[in-house]
């Protein structure tokens, strides 16, 4: 059983971009001892703080306990990992120095693989994983725009996902005006999110089309359905199932996504801006798991094959 956090935990946010910056700032605003590890915005945030615009109220966090290297940071009770999955080579050098014997590591990252990688490096008992359903953008140096309420779903990496430490973190986040819920089965939660993320991030980035363009034709909807069926099959290959029938899950996603209008996924925007795309976490790793289990997912395989031509390094 993982140890509970102390009553006044020291929190480190590793990879404090828009998402990590927002949640870290909320925790700091509510009295927590939060340290931010950041790279490009370090100087600016050190001098000017973090400016938050949010439906929960705008505020400026200043001074910010900002760092540009883990060397000067205190060891933490909770490490909040919001690095992009394309930077997994940084887990060891950035996180290791922050760990005490019982430090918990909470990975709020996309796709599959980061929980396992962090568990391999630092021990499974430390790890919690989270899914962000959020819309938080950087609008300038040190400026973060929290657009809609959003939701974090989080759970322990080692079952049960909704153990006491996870409950404690949920309470801490809620007290800081962060909407969140417990995930009894983290792996199921990750696959559930992938049912949407694989088709829309994948096709969006590969074809340079937004959700509305993809769904505007029966042909597009067919390919989305075929990809979702492949993702559900890949999930089953890991023993992950869902209570609803596949058709119901899929139609629910299609209806909901139509309601979103012309939405560009993060991967499409990453492609447009020439940034690394999270292809491996979102598409590659799910495909590899199906393959290891001997499950054929031909549409998913095709997506991965062609997407890698767009961004072979990521």
Q: How far is the CB of 257 from a copy of itself (least distance, A)?
A: 15
Q: Which of 14, 99, 203, 250 binds a copy of itself (CB under 8 A)?
A: 203
Q: How far is the CB of 290 from a copy of itself (least distance, A)?
A: 15
Sign of CA dihedral 86, 87, 89, 95: negative
Interaction pattern, residues 246-285, with a copy of itself; x per rule: CB under 8 A: ----------------------------------------
Residue 216 CB-density burial (10 A; 0-12 exposed, 13-18 middle, 19+ buried): middle
Q: Which of 171, 208, 247, 248 binds a copy of itself (CB under 8 A)?
A: 208
Query: How is residue 22 written in tokens?
Result: 């927002």
Can residue 198 be called a binding residue for a copy of itself (CB under 8 A)? no
3-state secondary structure the chain: CCCCCCCCCEEEEECCCHHHHHHHHHHHHCCCEEEEECCCCHHHHHHHCEEEECCCCCEEECCCCEECCHHHCCCEEEEEECCCHHHHHHHHHHHHHHEEEEEEEEEECCCCCHHHHHHHHHCHHHEEEEEEEEEEEEEECCEEEEEEEEEEEEEECCCCCCCHHHHHHHHHHHHCCCCEEECCCHHHHHHHHHHHHHHHHHHHHHHCCCHHHHHCCHHHHHHHHHHHHHHHHHHHHCCCCCCCCHHHHHHHHHHHHHCCCCCCCHHHHHHHCCCCCCHHHHHHHHHHHHHHCCCCCHHHHHHHHHHHHHCCCC
Can residue 1 be called a binding residue for a copy of itself (CB under 8 A)? no
Can residue 287 be called a binding residue for a copy of itself (CB under 8 A)? no
Nearer to a copy of itself, 101 or 218 (CB): 218
Query: How is residue 240 written in tokens?
Result: 């992950």
* Segment near a copy of itself (CB under 8 A); pick from 28-36, 60-68, 137-145, 205-213: 205-213
Q: How far is the CB of 312 from a copy of itself (least distance, A)?
A: 4
Residues 161-180 that bind a copy of itself (CB under 8 A): none
Of the residues 84, 193, 258, 308, only one is catalytic, namely: 193
Can residue 105 be called a binding residue for a copy of itself (CB under 8 A)? no
The answer to whether residue 193 is catalytic is yes
> By CB under 8 A, how many residues form the interface with a copy of itself?
24
Q: Which of 124, 207, 293, 295 binds a copy of itself (CB under 8 A)?
A: 207
Q: How far is the CB of 231 from a copy of itself (least distance, A)?
A: 16
Nearer to a copy of itself, 17 or 286 (CB): 286
Q: How far is the CB of 145 from a copy of itself (least distance, A)?
A: 29
Can residue 299 be called a binding residue for a copy of itself (CB under 8 A)? yes
Torsions phi, psi of 2, nearest 5?
A: -65, 145
Q: How far is the CB of 193 from a copy of itself (least distance, A)?
A: 22
Interaction pattern, residues 214-253, with a copy of itself; x per rule: CB under 8 A: x--xxxx--x--x---------------------------
- Nearest 5°: the CA angle 297, 302, 307 is 130
Q: Which residues are catalytic?
A: 193
Residues in contact with a copy of itself by the rule CB under 8 A: 203, 206-209, 214, 217-220, 223, 226, 298-299, 301-303, 305-306, 308-310, 312-313
């Amino acid at each position: 059983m993982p140890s509970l956090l102390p009553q006044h935990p020291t929190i480190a946010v590793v990879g404090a971009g828009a998402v990590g910056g927002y949640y870290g700032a909320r925790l700091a605003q509510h009295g927590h001892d939060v340290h931010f590890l950041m790279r490009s915005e370090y100087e600016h945030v050190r001098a000017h703080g973090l400016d938050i615009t949010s439906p929960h109220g705008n505020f400026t966090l200043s001074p910010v306990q900002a760092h540009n290297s883990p060397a000067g940071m205190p060891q933490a009770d909770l490490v909040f990992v919001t690095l992009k999955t394309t930077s997994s080579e940084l887990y060891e050098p950035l996180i290791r120095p922050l760990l005490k014997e019982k430090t918990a590591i909470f990975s709020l990252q996309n796709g599959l693989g980061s929980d396992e990688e962090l568990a391999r490096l630092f021990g499974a008992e430390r790890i919690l994983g989270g899914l962000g359903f959020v819309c938080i953008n950087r609008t300038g140096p040190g400026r973060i725009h929290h657009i809609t309420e959003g939701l974090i779903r989080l759970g322990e990496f080692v079952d049960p996902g909704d153990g006491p430490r996870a409950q404690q973190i949920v309470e801490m986040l809620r007290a800081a005006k962060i909407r969140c819920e417990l995930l009894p089965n983290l792996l199921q939660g990750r696959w559930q999110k992938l049912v949407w993320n694989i088709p829309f991030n994948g096709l969006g980035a590969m074809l340079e089309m937004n959700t509305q363009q993809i769904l505007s034709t029966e042909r597009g909807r067919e390919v989305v359905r075929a990809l979702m069926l492949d993702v559900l099959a890949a999930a089953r290959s890991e023993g992950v199932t869902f209570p609803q029938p596949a058709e119901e899950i899929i139609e629910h996603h299609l209806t909901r996504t139509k309601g979103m209008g012309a939405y560009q996924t993060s991967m499409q925007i990453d492609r447009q801006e020439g940034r690394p795309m999270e292809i491996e976490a979102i598409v590659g790793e799910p495909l590899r798991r199906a393959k290891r289990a001997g499950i054929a997912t031909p549409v998913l395989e095709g997506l991965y094959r062609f997407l890698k031509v767009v961004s072979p390094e990521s």
